[in-house]
Amino acid sequence: MTVLGDRFVKTRPDAPPGFFEVEAAGLRWLAVPDGVPVAEPVDVSPSHLSTVRLELAPPTGAAADEFGRRLAGTHDAGAWHFGVPPDGWDADGYIGTIGLPHALDPVESWGEFYANLRLRPYLRSAYSQGTIDGHQLNVFEQVCTRLEAGRYDDPSEQPCRIHGDLWSGNVVWTANGVHLIDPAAHGGHRETDLAMLGLFGLPQLERVLRAYDEAHPLADGWRHRVGLHRLHPLLTHVVLFGGSYVPQAIAMAHKYA
C-alpha cells in the first residue's frame, strides 16, 4: 500500500480478475448508516484500488464501545441469503490472495453454506497440496456433516452483512473511531466476524464484544462456537502458508466433529 496525498493506493499489476473490483464493491456494501465506517473507495481498476487516507490513532475504550455498537449495526443491515456477494458483484471473490466462493443462489441454511463454501473448498486444496492427510481430512468432514445436518444452525439467525475477514489488521483505529478495510464481504453469520476479531488479538476486544452484545444480544452459547467460526480463516492460512496452522485447525475441528 502506498500513500499518495489524501489517498491510500493498493496496486498489483498481476491481480486476478475482479480482485480490486470486488473489494471496492464490498466496501460500498458495508457502508451503511449507523454501521462501522469504511475506507471509502475513490478509484478502482483491474490493477489498483485507492481509498480515502485514514489517520491512525491509538485504540481507546470509547472507540471500542462505539465499534461494538456500530458493528452490530453493520450486521443488522442484512443480506439476501448466506453466501450472497456484495451488491453490484455476481461472481466469486477473494480472501487474502485466494478465491472465496459466493452463493449466487440461496442455500438452505448457514450450516450448508459454511460446510460447502467455507470449509470444503479449502480442505480440498490443503489435501491436494499434501498439507493435511486423510485422517485429518476425515475429522474436518465430520464437522461438515454435522453442519449440513443443522447441528449448529439457529433458525432465528438471519443472514447478516459481514466483513468476512475481520482480523485485527483490517480494523483501523483513527481519531474518528474505527474504520474497516480489506473486506471479503458477503452474507454470513454475525458470529463469524466476532470470532475472527479475536483470532490474532484485538485491542479492547472484551469492550467491543460487550458493546456489541448490548446493541444486539448474542445467542446463548456463542462463545462455545467461536472455534467453529475460526475454522475457515485457519484453513485459508493452511492453504496459503502451509502446515504450521494445521495443529491449531485440527484441534478446533475435533471440538465440533
* pLDDT at 7 (0 to 100): 84
Burial of 232 (0-12, 13-18, 19+ CB in 10 A): buried
218: cell is 448474542
Q: Are the CB atoms for 186 and 102 separated by under 8 Å?
A: yes
Q: What is the pTM of this model?
A: 0.96
Q: Which sequence spans correspond to the domains of the chain? A: 54-254
Closest-CA residue to 118 (of 83, 79, 166, 163): 83
Q: Which CATH superfamily groups domain 54-254?
A: Aminoglycoside phosphotransferase (APH), C-terminal lobe (3.90.1200.10)
47-77 residues labelled b (16+ CB within 10 A) or e (exposed): ebbbbeebeeeebeeebbbbbbbbbbbbbbe
Residues 6+ apart with CB under 8 A from 46: 15, 17, 18, 19, 20, 21
Q: Are the CB atoms for 139 and 254 separated by under 8 Å?
A: yes
Secondary structure (3-state) at 97: coil
Stretches in the chain below the pLDDT threshold 70: 1, 3-5
> Grid coordinates 456463542 are at which residue?
222
Q: Are the CB atoms for 219 and 195 separated by under 8 Å?
A: no
202: cell is 484485538
* pLDDT at 129 (0 to 100): 96
Q: Are the CB atoms for 196 and 232 separated by under 8 Å?
A: no
* pLDDT at 8 (0 to 100): 86
Pairing type for strands 48-52 and 93-95 reads unpaired
228: cell is 467453529
